[in-house]
């Protein structure tokens, strides 16, 4: 069975992912011994499954946790699960429809019931193992899941160009991958880096983790993260020019979120070839060496 690692911070009383993955081989990863003690006071937490990383729990603590897991708990080339600490449950398309590569969600509203289907941890592990086989065949190292519960936007089972949200993902432990500890919007950074290095990611639209966002603890509430996110957005636009656009969302501060500008594998291939030139242009350098 694939192993599950749950980085966490400041959510000792409300952590839920370990229960959503009950029966699997999981570890809760905290920053220090003092924090470990608080988590162990939660009666639902198994003391033997709480691991101390010892890395700083600063603004970039999540990327440090991920890196530490890869370097200390996981074998090279091992596939495993990274899960945020506030997943409540898992949903997956019913088995009767799961093998269909595509479904007419825009024409058949009855399919909503097919998508709104609870997924046991055991079944999730089976689906995850299948995804790893698909990813291995085409040389991919990052797999993600649907970012919305709305079935209307999830008609195609697999996509190879898109945003892999860090809420839940399958990670292939490549020793040559370097984590960026300067950007807190690490799932955007990891998505971009995998698209650039390997040309694609694998996203399974038939699976959705039910979870909260911007809750107290962890990386902070949305209001707490506004200044850092604004800075991160600009850093990501500069580091991966041409890949992202600023996404304005109702009720959110402008300039704090991103979306991919391109969504087709051929567009990704063209962007990969153009990225060195685009980076020079961001710095104000043209191809003739001028400024």
For residue 179, being part of any structural domain is answered with yes
pLDDT at 291: 34
Largest separation between any pair of C-alpha atoms in the chain: 65
Quote the radius of gyration of the chain (alpha carbons, Å).
19
| Cα-based distances in Å from 275 to 150, 193, 237, 239, 272 | 33, 12, 12, 9, 5
For residue 290, is it within any domain?
A: no
CATH code, domain with 175: 3.90.550
In a domain, 263, yes or no: no
Q: How far is CA 183 from CA 90, 126, 240, 251, in A?
A: 28, 33, 13, 23
**Per-residue model confidence (pLDDT) at position 30:** 98
**282 occurs within a structural domain:** no
Residue 53: which domain range? 4-219
70 lies in some domain: yes
Q: Is there a domain that residue 133 lies in? A: yes
Whole-number Å distance between alpha carbons of 235 and 141: 24
Domain assignment of residue 238, yes or no: no
Q: How many structural domains comprise the chain? A: 1
pLDDT at 285: 67
Give me the pLDDT at residue 251, please.
84
233 lies in a domain?
Answer: no
pTM, full prediction: 0.94
* Cα separation, 5 vs 26, whole angstroms: 6
- Per-residue pLDDT for the chain (291 aa), expressed as one digit of tens each? 899 999 999 999 999 999 999 999 999 999 999 999 999 999 999 999 999 999 999 999 999 999 999 999 999 999 999 999 999 999 999 999 999 999 999 999 999 999 999 999 999 999 999 999 999 999 999 999 999 999 999 999 999 999 999 999 999 999 889 999 999 999 999 999 999 999 999 999 999 999 988 787 888 888 989 999 999 999 999 999 999 999 988 888 999 999 999 999 999 999 999 999 999 998 876 554 443
pLDDT the model gives residue 286: 57
């Amino acid at each position: 069975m694939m192993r599950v690692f749950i980085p966490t911070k400041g959510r000792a009383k409300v952590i839920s992912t370990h229960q959503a993955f009950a029966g699997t081989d999981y570890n809760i990863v905290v920053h220090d011994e003092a924090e470990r003690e608080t988590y162990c006071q939660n009666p639902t937490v198994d003391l033997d499954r709480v691991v101390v990383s010892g890395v700083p729990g600063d603004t970039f603590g999540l990327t440090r946790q991920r890196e530490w897991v890869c370097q200390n708990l996981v074998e090279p080339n091992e596939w495993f699960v990274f899960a945020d600490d506030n997943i409540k449950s898992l949903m997956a398309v019913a088995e009767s429809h799961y093998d269909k590569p595509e479904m007419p969600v825009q024409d058949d509203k009855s399919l909503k019931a097919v998508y709104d289907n609870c997924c046991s941890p055991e079944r999730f592990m089976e689906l995850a193992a299948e995804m790893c086989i698909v990813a291995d065949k085409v040389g991919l190292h990052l797999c993600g899941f649907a970012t919305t519960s709305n079935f209307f936007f999830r008609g195609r089972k697999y996509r190879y160009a898109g945003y892999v949200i860090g809420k839940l993902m399958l990670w292939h432990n490549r020793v040559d991958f370097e984590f960026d500890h300067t950007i807190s919007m690490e799932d955007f950074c990891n998505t971009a880096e995998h698209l650039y290095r390997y040309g694609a990611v694998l996203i399974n639209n038939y699976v959705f983790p039910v979870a909260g966002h911007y809750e107290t603890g962890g990386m902070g509430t949305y209001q707490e993260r506004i200044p850092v996110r604004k800075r991160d957005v600009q850093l990501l636009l500069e580091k991966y020019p041409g890949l992202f656009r600023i996404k304005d969302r109702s009720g959110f501060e402008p300039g704090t979120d991103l979306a991919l500008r391109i969504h087709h594998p051929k567009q990704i291939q063209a962007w990969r070839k153009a990225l060195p030139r685009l980076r020079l242009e961001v710095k104000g350098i043209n191809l003739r060496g001028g400024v």
